[in-house]
Structure 1
Amino acid sequence: MSRIVRAAAIQISPVLGDDGLGTARKVCQAIRDAAEKGVKLVVFPETFVPYYPYFSFIQPAFRFGGEHLELYERAVIIPGPVTDMVAEAARDTGMVVVLGVNERDFGTLYNTQIIFDATGEILLKRRKITPTYHERMVWGQGDGAGLKVVESAAGRIGALACWEHYNPLARYALMTQHEEIHCAQFPGSLVGQIFADQMEVTIRHHALESGCFVVNATGWLTEDQIRDIARDPALEGPLRGGCFTAIVSPEGKLLGTPLTEGEGMVIADLDFALITKRKRMMDSVGHYARPELLSLLQDRRPARTVHYVGEHGATGPVGSSNDEAAS
């Protein structure tokens, strides 16, 4: 029997220059707007709260120290006020929410994806395993503990951020866990049209290869925001284009019209019968796999900086309190 879940990919602009909660409030309003349209799963852009560090793409590292520190001050503690707000909105609307945030864990920032169930419970907090290029000056590295699929009210969900989709083994790790919906997040308003073109190829290919739906959300910057971030007309160009908010079926088909400019949401009904239809022909982690020839080793142990030895010689990993609270 078929099961249908209505999903929305949100293209939206952040709130800049406030205490960091303005963007979170905008997220909660978008969740409620989507709920009025019957949506049960909503996906927001990469590190959307409080905002993606666009400054790091257009400035050399020695110049953006002040802006980096501002991001620290506005970053999200998990759990904390932002996650409480979003959890309440998810619970009130019965919505599964996938949100990208800049997470602060004491002295380090991380590119983090949070999956909230329809009850408001945090099902997964995962960190981007390798920040890309300029991002390495902003965020720390994640670990394999977050490369997992979770059972939610909307189905089996996996998530990756941006160029993690160019790591085939990271994608395969999720595929082996039989994800039904893959939630992809990109910053948007970056690089130009070529970024949007590459994004389309990437998410459509993953849908075909995994035999799952892909819900992809990108951010959006207004012209005023571009001017405020760039501070120099010569630096504004790299902050335009690169938006491709879309939903893809397991057959690689775009469901609805992708959003490449402005704010809005792409909504589609995900018919899970299409997953079986696709995998009957090609199941890359089942009857189409050759595990005796090719296999993947995944280390899912959380990265820890210290291991304490107990009184009787037993060892146990010890991490930060923020990690423990959301693990």
Structure 2
Amino acid sequence: MAQPAPKFIAAAVQATPVYLDLEATVDKTIALVAEAARNGAKLVVFPETWIPGYPYWAWLGPPAWAMKWVPAYVANSMELDSEAEARIAAAAAQHDINVVLGFSERSGGSLYIAQLILDAEGRRVAARRKLKPTHVERTVFGEGDGSHLAVHDVAGVGRLGALACWEHFQPLTKFAMYSQDEQVHAASWPSFASPPEVNQLGPDLNDAANQVYAAEGGCFVVAATTPVTPEIVDLLCESPEQRRLVLPGGGRSMVFGPDGSRLAAYLAPDEEGLVLAEVDLGLIPLAKALADPAGHYARPDVTRLLFNREPAPPVSAPAPAAADGDGRVHPSPDAHDGVLSTGGLGQPDNAV
């Protein structure tokens, strides 16, 4: 007889990092991991660019003005395989909890909006990058590729995937995730504090995007957000107009069920804490019986997604040459004009 689907507690963080301070935010991360575990959680999800905070300054003025924030932001972004990652991984293992961490990833001379997935033994399951930074975010961050749209089997949690912020408004990106039988989705967002006339960045629309993702994908969504503090406003804003663009508050973390229902109560928009809810994977078949977007509710004869999962590094190394018995060197059969062929768009196994 099949075993019942697991149940566990998930925690969506609603908190503010120690802005532009890598080490202090790692300390706060570890404290929140421990707090989530004390509350029985087996999964904790952090906001977008939790480390070292979201670059609100990119929205406040021309790029030339905003450049003054770049050195501190780069210096306090997190590298993979760093001491900071190791400390957070050790906390995950110590407290037996899976972690999805939003962070600004520093890689060489570039930054990426990234999410790190750690299992309950502190092992890195994946590190992904936001496929397309939104609007002025493109003045700060580079892009991910199709290999970063992935869903992973995580013990005790199920099939876990993650997206950041407005990736939840990209229909084909969402469909690529749904097609991988995603059961639990980590949604990392910054603050929803914005002036009323910019509804696209406000709480109602973005909260609805999480709810629709849950109902559309037939999965649980653990959505984490960051309240803006008055201290951040004072630090970044130099004019009344800038203060009108970045408002205190904006937290709206939540856990949604696969039918789109809210499974907990909201915290106040300026309140820090954890939103906790039970995830029962046994409810997913009920939701997907009504509509499975990449299964029985699809019409591949009418519309299909071409999904290129291949990594797209800026440099592809040539395949190594092979020597025959007489010592002569011949190109590898996989080498074409000095570029390693890695497959790509249009490969049969990439079509969903």
Fold equivalence (TM over 0.5): yes
What does residue 322 of structure 1 align with?
none
How do residues 232-243 of structure 1 correspond to structure 2 at under 5 angstroms? 232-240=239-247, 241-243=249-251
Q: Summarize the Cα distance change of 1:297–1:56 in structure 2 as closer, same or farther, 3 Å threshold.
A: same
How do residues 1-327 of structure 1 correspond to structure 2 at under 5 angstroms? 1-18=4-21, 20-153=22-155, 154-192=157-195, 194=199, 195-240=202-247, 241-259=249-267, 260-309=269-318, 310-311=320-321, 312-314=330-332, 315=335
Q: Summarize the Cα distance change of 1:317–1:262 in structure 2 as closer, same or farther, 3 Å threshold.
A: farther
Equivalent AA in structure 2 for residue 145 of structure 1? S
Q: Unpaired runs of 5+ in structure 2?
A: 322-329, 342-352
SS of alignment partner, residue 159 of structure 2: strand
Q: What's the CA shift for 1:213? A: 0.4
Which is bigger in relative contact order (C-alpha 8 A, separation at least 6)?
1
* Residues 209-233 of structure 1, C-alpha deviations (whole Å, 9 max, x = no match): 1000000001122212211121334
8 Å contact kept, 1:131–1:139: yes
Equivalent AA in structure 2 for residue 141 of structure 1? E
SS of alignment partner, residue 274 of structure 2: strand
Distance 1:226 1:13 in 2: 13
8 Å contact kept, 2:20–2:52: no
8 Å contact kept, 2:258–2:284: yes
Equivalent AA in structure 2 for residue 89 of structure 1? A
TM-score, normalising length: structure 1: 0.93
Distance 1:111 1:117 in 2: 20
8 Å contact kept, 1:227–1:233: no
8 Å contact kept, 1:247–1:258: no
* Residues 240-280 of structure 1, C-alpha deviations (whole Å, 9 max, x = no match): 25432111000110011123332111000011121011111
Q: Summarize the Cα distance change of 1:317–1:304 in structure 2 as closer, same or farther, 3 Å threshold.
A: farther
Distance 2:253 2:98 in 1: 18
Q: What's the CA shift for 1:317? A: 5.4
Equivalent AA in structure 2 for residue 251 of structure 1? D
Distance 1:282 1:135 in 2: 34
Equivalent AA in structure 2 for residue 87 of structure 1? A
| Structure whose CA Rg is larger | 2
Distance 2:33 2:20 in 1: 22
Equivalent AA in structure 2 for residue 273 of structure 1? G
